[in-house]
Structure 1
Amino acid sequence: MAVDKKHLSMGLTLLISFIGVLILIFAPIYGEGLNGLEYSDELFNKLAKGSAYFIPKVTKDIEKFKGKPFDVTIDVKKATDKPGEGEKRAENVKKLYTTNGAQVEVNGTKVHITGDFAAILLAALEDSQQMYNNNGDYIKNKYGVTDDDKMKQMFRQWHNSLSAISKKFTLEKKVNESNIIKTVLTKAIEPAYNFYGIEAEKVSEKAGVLTGLLAFYVLYTVWYGFGMLYLFEGLGFSTKKAKVKKEV
């Protein structure tokens, strides 16, 4: 193999500079002591939260169910429950719904709920709005819990109970009711819970930074690729097809 000093030098220069930039990326010099990956991850989480706000639209979708009563029995037991966990969850579901005006009876892990369908969904949206705004104290005060873990546990009961109710309504051929519950779950409750503690930002307000990060990602990938390409060419490795020798 013949060494190509020119390409070898170019490859080493690109790879050494690539490593230098990589060291800077992992240095805690971005934002408030974050490294580059943490900073970009935090930014994308903020932008994702800003793009996942649908509560006002879902509120309008619920209006057509105003005054509609519902009567359902669900089992909140989970296969992974330890002794007593299902019963505790049932009591939390009871507290959640009675606080929001429904009538609830508990028998072990089975929960019988009656009330105004739209009123319950609107209550779930209000709690979701407060969670989306990172106002955990609202949930604590409303349900009489004292710490963040219990607050999140209480809010999770919206997801546990409404998921079970949606499945029950599907079996009962109540398609419209099941679908609106799924909308509340995916467009309000899940984003509010998953993004709790993160400040929302709009993509339009961070368009420059976002474009710069994406452009850098592409450039940095190509940078490494050409570095490796020139390094191997400099060492005599090539992907070119060998010339066929003609017989004399």
Structure 2
Amino acid sequence: MIAHKSLFFKGLGLLVAFFIVLFLMFMPLINGHNFLNYMDNLYNTISKGSAYYIPKMKAEIAPYQGKFITLDLAMATEREAKETALLLTKSGASAQIDGVKLKVSGDLGAILANCLEDSDLMFNNQGEQISAKYGYPEKQVLYNWYRADIQMNKELTHQKLFNEAKIVASVQAKAVECAFNYYKIVPESIGNKIGVVIFSLVFYVIYTLWFGFSILFLFEGWGMQLGH
């Protein structure tokens, strides 16, 4: 039973309007994209510029130039092992394939430098150069680097080469993963989109409160007393 009709219908009206706006947000009204996809892409383009760690990583791997390592890497499949071996041989290392296993010997600094070079190309949306270099798709190349770095980190840790394991993990997280995740995204300065950013943040707050007050008014219209 409705105790306070004015409050109830105010809440109902707000709730209906809330879902109308929600419906519109899922419609492709912004350059063929819906509001959520547009905002997701916008924040990706803005954040890309602040996620470029590769120049710093190039300096951090310098002390490992000439550091010779021998590692036994266990890959997931024979195909992955063969493709990863190509990455390592292009880095100047030797890679002996035995099924899904790789026995790698080479200069850790040179391996990481090649990994960073590929990551840099990927981050700057020049994936065609990577696919031409290795003969298979660039995203698979970066994924193989990711898998190789995980296995290298594991093996270096097992050998108690903790500093070496740490730098490999840093390259994986700050270069390979960032390059893969931001591939094909064109960076945008927040200054160029400051109006849209402010609007989105204000809208988020208002839209959240909008839903909350619609529920509040509905329940109070039913006669339930909610503190506010």
TM-score by length of 2: 0.90
CA RMSD of aligned residues (A): 1.9
What is the alpha-carbon distance in structure 1 between the residues aligned to residue 5 and residue 73 of structure 2? 74
Alignment of 1:109-188 (within 5 A): 109-145=100-136, 150-188=137-175
Structure 1 unaligned residues grouped into runs of 5+: 79-85, 241-248
Structure 2 residue matching 1:198: 3-state secondary structure? coil
Equivalent residues of 2:216, 2:226 under 8 A apart: no
> Are positions 1:26 and 2:26 aligned together?
yes
What's the counterpart of residue 14 of structure 1? 14
Residue 205 of structure 1: how far off its partner (Å): 4.0
Residue 195 of structure 1: how far off its partner (Å): 2.1
What is the alpha-carbon distance in structure 2 between the residues aligned to residue 8 and residue 75 of structure 1? 64
What's the counterpart of residue 182 of structure 2? 195
Look up the equivalent residue of 1:212 and give its one-letter code. Answer: F
What is the alpha-carbon distance in structure 2 between the residues aligned to residue 135 and residue 75 of structure 1? 29
What's the counterpart of residue 216 of structure 2? 229
TM-score by length of 1: 0.84
Change (3 A) 1:75 1:13: closer
Look up the equivalent residue of 2:126 and give its one-letter code. Answer: N
Look up the equivalent residue of 1:184 and give its one-letter code. Answer: V
What's the counterpart of residue 93 of structure 1? 84
Moved more, 90-99 or 123-132: 90-99
Equivalent residues of 2:119, 2:175 under 8 A apart: yes
Equivalent residues of 1:50, 1:203 under 8 A apart: no
What's the counterpart of residue 63 of structure 1? 62
What is the alpha-carbon distance in structure 2 between the residues aligned to residue 111 and residue 9 of structure 1? 69
- Look at both structures and tell me which one has the larger radius of gyration over its CA atoms: 1
Structure 2 unaligned residues grouped into runs of 5+: none
Equivalent residues of 2:93, 2:111 under 8 A apart: yes
Q: Percent identity?
A: 40
Change (3 A) 1:90 1:12: closer
Moved more, 191-200 or 204-213: 204-213
Equivalent residues of 1:139, 1:155 under 8 A apart: no
Structure 1 residue matching 2:71: 3-state secondary structure? strand
Change (3 A) 1:19 1:2: closer
What is the alpha-carbon distance in structure 1 between the residues aligned to residue 20 and residue 221 of structure 2? 21
Moved over 4 A (4+): none
Equivalent residues of 1:52, 1:191 under 8 A apart: yes
Alignment of 1:203-218 (within 5 A): 203-218=190-205
Residue 204 of structure 1: how far off its partner (Å): 4.5
What is the alpha-carbon distance in structure 2 between the residues aligned to residue 218 and residue 112 of structure 1? 55
- 1:76-99 alpha-carbon deviations (Å, 9 max, x no partner): 2x3xxxxxxx22222111211112
What's the counterpart of residue 81 of structure 1? none
